Amino acid sequence: MVCETKDKLEKMTESKTALITGITGQDGSYLSELLLEKGYEVHGIIRRTSTFNTDRIDHIYVDPHQEEARLFLHYGDLTDGTTLRRLLEAVKPIEIYNLGAQSHVRVSFDSPEYTVDTVAMGTLRLLEAIRDYQHRTGIQVRFYQAGSSEMFGKVQEIPQKETTPFYPRSPYACAKVYAHWQTVNYRESYDLFACNGILFNHESPRRGETFVTRKITRAISRILAGQQKFLYMGNLDAKRDWGYAKDYIEAMWLMLQQDQPEDYVVATGETHSVREFLELAFSYVNLNWEDYVRFDERYLRPAEVELLIGDPAKTKEKLGWQPSVNFEELVQLMVDADLEALGLTPPATKNGKLIQDNAYIRQNVGSMSY
Ligand code: NDP
Ligand code: GDR
């Protein structure tokens, strides 16, 4: 990025307020860190749960009674439009990042109504609240919608880009397509600065434990610690374009700093199968994956997305964005982090390449794992 643009962006971020739905998730936690680093006041919507759900952001939380506090949490839910409206009035955000979702594809087949209520209707509720708020106050709000490569679903074109037709294959993906088009519709109808990021799979040590990458890296550490014997998996032939979450968060922010609101594909441009992920992750700790992995049909989906590979050309050109971590590095940094969390020595410590990710890594989660 040229210096002039950088100066301009830095000026624009002075005393900005952002509101994030899904702040307790993988992406919400990295995005909060990024925005705080840039001087934003950050407000996040959290759900009331019977156990704490703020593990991923505890390290950046400061008691709001302290003068230096710039991260504030509010109870709310995407299924509750009244609260969303009230929060907009109270927080007065300039940027809103809609990351909240029931984001597990397999679970969306079990709970389709809830998934659609949160992902599709939740986005509509937020857009309606923004539309009224903007109309009433005259304050221009910038809106980011967390779109997904799952919207491409059944292969229509390779690689997939902004113009590739959608063919969603799950209740989750159908809901994301709805949210995508409502975001376009509000941009065109009400002059809302609204962007869809169409993000391909992105992972990290903070990834939820039931997504395939983290399920694998966490299992490896537990196998080495003698806490688990086998790893039960579904379809190993599925191919995904996997990147590093921290890189992808940067693209979200950049989208909202442009002169015009547009939609962008964020991906690495490489694809790998689940089997390749297994091979690489197990061999990194000198294990043979075939000795540990077993098949369980309950991890199959009624309809599968076989192949995803994104074309990030527009994002690279217009946003100056580049992924900084390749597939092998991603696998290794996730294995390293899970080993460290169990008190085992990660291979990267020996070769001096350990990437520190100050995530709180939960190990004692239940066995209900997709
Ligand atoms: P996570 O599943 O880690 O986080 C989801 C977040 O949404 C959590 O904070 C969760 O809260 C919150 N949430 C769930 N239901 C509701 C609700 N009804 N109302 C308000 N908040 C809710 O997802 P990621 O961080 O991985 O992804 C962020 C967004 O990006 C999601 O919308 C996801 O669908 C989308 N996406 C993700 C990709 C990826 O590879 N990670 C790729 C493309 C899109 P709680 O902690 O209480 O459960
Ligand atoms: P995905 O991610 O469905 O792509 O959605 P996930 O990691 O769940 O699955 C990737 C692929 O791995 C196959 N698979 C398994 N998946 C899980 N979870 N558990 C298993 O045991 C298993 N065995 C094989 C799956 O069938 C699939 O093909 C993620 C989510 O973050 C979405 O919210 C996001 O929109 C997309 O990425 C882009």
> Looking at the domain that runs over 3-203+242-266, which CATH code has it been given?
3.40.50.720
Query: Torsions phi, psi of 272, nearest 5?
Result: -145, 150
* CA atoms of 250 and 22, how far apart (whole Å): 16
Query: What is the predicted ipTM?
Result: 0.99
In tens, the pLDDT along 223-254 reads: 999 999 999 999 999 999 999 999 999 999 99
Contacts of 286 (CB under 8 A, 6+ apart): none
Which residues contact ligand 1 via a Cβ below 6 A?
A: 21-28, 45, 47, 49, 53, 77-79, 99-103, 118, 146, 148, 199, 201-202, 208
Q: How many angstroms does the Cα of residue 64 sit away from the middle of ligand 1?
A: 24
With both helix axes pointing from N to C terminus, report the angle between 245-255 and 26-37 in degrees, rounded to the nearest 10: 60
Number of helices followed by number of strands (H, E) in the chain? 13, 13
The residue among 2 and 84 whose pLDDT is bigger is 84
Beta carbons of 271 and 155 less than 8 angstroms apart = no
- State the pLDDT at residue 257: 98
* CA atoms of 170 and 105, how far apart (whole Å): 7
Q: Ligand 2, residues 30, 166, 177, 212: which to mutate, most atoms within 8 A of Cβ? A: 212
Beta carbons of 306 and 314 less than 8 angstroms apart = no
Q: How far is CA 76 from the centre of its chain?
A: 19
- State the pLDDT at residue 15: 74
Q: How many angstroms does the Cα of residue 74 sit away from the middle of ligand 2?
A: 30
Residue 268 confidence (pLDDT) above 80:
yes
Interstrand relation of 17-21 and 95-98 (parallel, antiparallel or unpaired)? parallel
Where in the chain are the domains? 3-203+242-266
Q: Ligand 1, residues 79, 102, 103: which to mutate, most atoms within 8 A of Cβ? A: 103
